[in-house]
Amino acid sequence: MSKSGPIKAVRGPFGPIVGDFVGLVASFLVNSLANFALGLLLAFFLGPSRFGLYAVAVAGAGALASPAIDWVRHAATRFYSDTTRAEDPAIRATLDATVAGLVGGLGLIALLLPALGPALTGDPVVAVLALAFCTLSALFDYGSALARARFLERAYARLVILRNGLMLVLMTATAALTRDPSAVLAAGIVALGACLVLGRGDLRDPGARWTLARRDLARAFAFYGVPLMAAGGFAMVQAFYNRAAVAAAFGLAEAGKFSLAYDIGVRIVAVTATALDVLLFQLAVRTDAREGREAALAQVGRNLAVVLAVLLPTALGYGLVIRSFEAVFVPADYRGAYAAYSLALLPGLTAWALMQFGLSPAFQIRGRTSPMLLPNAAALAGTVVLGTLLAETMGPMGHAIAFSLSMLGALVLTAVMVVRQAPVPVSWRSVASTGAALAAMAAAVLAVAGPEPSLAALGASVAVGGTVYAAVSLGLDVAGIRRALAARLRRVPRPS
């Protein structure tokens, strides 16, 4: 099954990431800001207790709905393309038919939720709405994966912009008017439903009739995608467990404060790696189809250098400016707890992003995704055991620390497994250069941050830290970025 698309390669290890699809990644980042704003605004209008209920319900529903459909999304990004669309319509037909069956199963579960009792569902109405919301969100992710697989950058950008714009407006306005989590979820359902209807035209595949769906293809997709789904499911159960445990022992208000720190941390740290993954994994898949497995693994190694070079300064920079960030952006009811939780969760969130977007592709390219089950299961077990122990002496902060310790352990385990089972070439020079650039950035930020948190301190820290990191990175040619930019500039026609 091949991957192809209208992409123009650029010589150098950074490849087409600085080519024609920078706009695709940029649109992803810009719209992620809308998602970031949505989280802060919902926290502000709902308040800690109601936001805690909303966050726990969405985390629980997401741990059920997202993995159920996510494995088909993974299969789509690996096996669907313009080539297979033309030559083997059964692939898209099987993907669509499988998703339809899974959505039907989630619908049956939604009907049973109110009967499961308040002890399990909390507020039954919120639980049902959260499951519907997360199911539609997973469907949207599946649709956007189809666009990514065919390198339809304009369609992808339209989908993302439409979703985040509608969700930001409808959910924020509803939260401001009602202060009701169930009404906010209903607004999100309307927004996502409208996106799916309006974006359907970009993703149509007239030749992929459901009658062409094949069981053997569904089994092959499951063999590839289910281990990834299970690994992601462990991570989502982990997030739900932390929120539910904090809510049960320390109240919904404390769970709301914990959830805001976790959610914003994910958006700031993991969304950076996700934006890169929008393109990088598809490049590795295309390389596998055109040049063979060894070339694809070499591309995965180059991708890892890029992920490190972008993700680590994002995480470190966020940690360095967290006090000013909190003072400027975070609602007053969450301050203090937000910065403390964020710093405790940050190592774990960074480790998770490196596992998923830096190391996991080595297994995905080899078609052996089951090894990712072990580190994710170990992280979940560690979070439960350590969280239970640490919470007895450290209170709710113990759950945040347990999460980070468990994820760091899982990252080390994943790295060992990659070295032994799916080795990829790694540029240690690039890793060392990234470390040097990070040290220079940290020194610069600490020099300009000032003693008191403020908007001015935040702006100065971001501007100076970003400039220093960019300068040192280009000077040391981290991840081959300088060579790739130079190659790109040589290809751009100069005006006469």
pLDDT tens for residues 188-234? 999 999 988 888 777 778 777 777 888 988 898 888 888 878 887 88
Mean pLDDT, the chain, whole residue set:
84
Q: What band does 4 get if pLDDT is binned at 50, 70 and 90?
A: very low
Least confident of 34-43, 251-260, 289-298, 338-347: 289-298
Whole-prediction pTM value?
0.83
pLDDT per residue as tens digits for the range 340-389: 999 999 999 999 999 988 898 888 888 777 888 899 999 999 999 999 99
Which ranges in 179-292 belong to alpha helices (H)?
A: 181-198, 215-250, 252-265, 271-291
Ranking 83-87, 187-191, 358-362, 475-479 by mean pLDDT, the lowest is 83-87
Cβ atoms of 260 and 294 within 8 Å: the answer is: no
Share of the chain above pLDDT 90, in %: 44
Return the pLDDT at 5: 35
The residue among 112, 133, 149, 143 whose CA lies nearest residue 193 is: 133
Q: Predicted confidence band at 13 (pLDDT cuts at 50, 70, 90)?
A: very low
- How far apart are the C-alpha atoms of 372 and 421, rounded to whole Å? 11
pLDDT value at 495 more than 70? no
Pairwise CA distance, residues 485 & 491, whole Å: 10
Query: Of 12-21, 47-56, 389-398, 461-470, where does mean pLDDT reach its minimum?
Result: 12-21
**% the chain with pLDDT above 70:** 89
Q: At what angle do helices 153-178 and 22-79 cross, to 10 degrees?
A: 100
The predicted pLDDT at position 335 comes to 94
Of the pLDDT bands very low, low, confident and very high (cuts 50, 70, 90), residue 478 is confident
**Structure confidence by residue, pLDDT tens digits, 303-312:** 888 889 889 9
Element (H, E) at 213: none
Residues 75, 71: Cα–Cα separation, whole Å:
6
Residues 401-415 have a mean pLDDT of 96
